[in-house]
């Protein structure tokens, strides 16, 4: 009679044999093994796997130092073919090496339509079940991936794409094999900073990071720093809020002006608050900032100051639009509104002038 450990070992052995039998069946049908270049290799990639290339490539390399993913790690793949036994995929972070998702690992539920679960050409987050480095087999699972795992993997993959794009640019500009750049720059920064992408962004404000990197030439260093500055320098975000400020008390317009000045006084060295009149009583508060969250908090504090001041004078402040990041389209809409209000004011002013001239004409006639 088997004890608990024996039962678990027996069940584990059965699963391994079952998966091995499935792979063997797939191989017998010509479904598991290196994919034919004409079917599975994108036209811009070499038909020979990078690990077998006689010369190092300028543009193709894995994102990480390890040639194969670790078991239980999450990876991004691209689906190349759906077959009877499962789906062929390419591991995008590992220089497009082959992997396979067996049919039983596609979903926890009964599969009614494979096309609804997985499609050719789509990127998917999967978990690594087994890796046979000698034969090049990588078994993957889609059904064991949680939504949280997908978010984390996508975030890491997007960072990796940014780094790879920069590395490829430098490789092409300097004629340096991209794997050399990863060995000298990318992978060491991954170890020290968690991800080279974070180190690249930090280097914009802290160039001392490059003192830790050994460059093969100044040409590589200059090209890398120049391109990072172009690609990763953060662009200022415009934050805006709309408020209606009015005071019908004794101080009137003076109270409004004083309240709005307190908003501008909330400016900091990095974030300057500006107040612009659309048409009474509507005003727009704006600021430019590299950190959207900070900009929103600054405008919230400015609105709080306006309310405190105008309430004390017997006036009111009504927020028509809460602080938020705005786009060029939002600015264009605001400009249209301001132009429209200005035309309306001019028409009213013109009517008043006509009325005064009519009165003058009547008086002269009398």
The CATH number of the domain where 299 resides is what? 3.30.70.1130
130 and 177 fall within a common domain: no
Residue 35 phi, psi dihedral angles, 5° rounding: -75, 140
> Among 162-166, 224-228, 233-237, where is mean pLDDT lowest?
233-237
More confident call, 87 vs 42: 87
- Residue 61 in any domain: the answer is yes
24 and 82 fall within a common domain: yes
CATH of the domain at 27: 2.40.50.140
270 and 213 fall within a common domain: no
Question: Cβ(303)–Cβ(262) under 8 Å?
Answer: no
> Among 31-40, 60-69, 269-278, 329-338, where is mean pLDDT lowest?
31-40
Question: Is the confidence at residue 209, as pLDDT, over 80?
Answer: yes
- Residue 351 in any domain: the answer is no
For 235-270, give one letter per residue: b (16+ CB within 10 A) or e: eebbbbbbbebbbeeebeeebbebbbebbeebeeee
125 and 61 fall within a common domain: yes
Residue 335: band (very low, low, confident or very high) from pLDDT cuts 50, 70, 90:
confident
Quote the pLDDT of residue 271.
87
As a whole-number percent, the residues of the chain with pLDDT over 90 amount to 57
Whose structure tokens read 């997985």? Answer: 118
Asked if residue 187 has a cis previous peptide bond (ω within 30° of 0), the answer is no
Question: Average pLDDT for residues 48-59, to the nearest whole number?
Answer: 53
- Residue 9 in any domain: the answer is no
Residue 32: band (very low, low, confident or very high) from pLDDT cuts 50, 70, 90:
low
- Residue 34 in any domain: the answer is yes
CA 22/CA 14 separation, integer angstroms: 12
More confident call, 161 vs 3: 161
- Residue 312 in any domain: the answer is yes
- What residues pair up with 289 in beta bridges, in sequence order? 237
182 and 94 fall within a common domain: no
Domain boundary among 119, 145, 171: 145
Whose structure tokens read 């009519």? Answer: 358
Residue 126: band (very low, low, confident or very high) from pLDDT cuts 50, 70, 90:
very high
Quote the pLDDT of residue 268.
83
Quote the pLDDT of residue 258.
93
- Residue 214 in any domain: the answer is yes
Domain boundary among 212, 232, 252: 232
Residue 85: band (very low, low, confident or very high) from pLDDT cuts 50, 70, 90:
confident
Quote the pLDDT of residue 354.
47
Mean pLDDT of the chain: 82
Quote the pLDDT of residue 363.
39
84 and 117 fall within a common domain: yes
131 and 161 fall within a common domain: no
226 and 266 fall within a common domain: no
Question: Is the confidence at residue 88, as pLDDT, over 80?
Answer: yes
27 and 99 fall within a common domain: yes
Task: Give the count of domains, the chain.
Answer: 3
Determine the structural domain holding residue 216 and report its residue range. 153-232
Least Cα distance to 22 among 114, 79, 105, 121 occurs for 105
Quote the pLDDT of residue 267.
87
Domain boundary among 99, 126, 145: 145
Question: What interhelical angle do 147-174 and 218-232 show, nearest 10?
Answer: 130
191 and 274 fall within a common domain: no
209 and 242 fall within a common domain: no
303 and 194 fall within a common domain: no
Q: Is the dihedral of CA 67, 73, 79, 81 positive or negative?
A: positive
- Residue 355 in any domain: the answer is no
Question: Cβ(163)–Cβ(52) under 8 Å?
Answer: no
- Residue 95 in any domain: the answer is yes
Question: Cβ(282)–Cβ(320) under 8 Å?
Answer: yes
């Amino acid at each position: 009679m088997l004890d608990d450990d024996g039962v678990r070992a027996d069940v584990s052995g059965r699963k391994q044999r079952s998966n091995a039998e499935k792979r063997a069946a797939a191989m017998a049908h010509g479904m598991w093994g290196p994919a034919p270049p004409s079917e599975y290799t994108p036209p811009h990639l070499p038909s020979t796997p990078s690990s077998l290339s006689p010369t190092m490539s300028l543009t193709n390399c894995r994102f990480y130092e390890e040639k194969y993913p670790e078991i239980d790690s999450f990876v991004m793949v691209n689906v190349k073919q759906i077959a009877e036994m499962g789906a062929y995929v390419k591991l995008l972070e590992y220089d497009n090496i082959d992997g396979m998702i067996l049919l039983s690992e596609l979903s926890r539920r009964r599969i009614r339509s494979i096309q609804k679960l997985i499609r050719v050409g789509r990127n998917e987050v999967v978990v690594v079940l087994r890796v046979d480095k000698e034969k090049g087999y990588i078994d993957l699972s889609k059904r064991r991936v949680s939504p949280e795992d997908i978010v984390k993997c996508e975030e890491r993959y997007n960072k990796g794409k940014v780094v790879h794009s920069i590395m490829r640019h430098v490789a092409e500009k300097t004629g340096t094999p991209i794997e050399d750049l990863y060995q000298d720059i990318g992978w060491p920064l991954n170890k020290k900073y968690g991800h080279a992408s974070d180190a690249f962004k930090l280097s914009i404000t802290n160039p001392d990071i490059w003192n830790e990197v050994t460059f093969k030439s100044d040409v590589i260093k200059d090209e890398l720093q120049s391109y990072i500055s172009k690609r990763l320098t953060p662009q200022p975000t415009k934050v805006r809020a709309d408020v209606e400020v009015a005071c019908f008390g004794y101080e009137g317009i003076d109270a409004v002006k004083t309240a709005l000045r307190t908003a501008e006084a909330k400016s900091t060295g990095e974030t300057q608050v500006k107040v612009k009149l659309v048409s009474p009583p509507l005003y727009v508060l704006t600021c430019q900032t590299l950190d959207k969250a900070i900009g929103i908090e600054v405008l919230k504090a400015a609105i709080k100051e306006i309310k405190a001041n105008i309430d004390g004078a017997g006036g009111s402040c009504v927020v028509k639009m809460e602080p938020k990041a705005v786009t060029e389209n939002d600015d264009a809409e605001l400009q249209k509104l301001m132009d429209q209000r200005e035309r309306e004011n001019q028409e009213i002013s013109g009517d008043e002038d006509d009325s005064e001239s009519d009165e003058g004409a009547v008086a002269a006639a009398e």
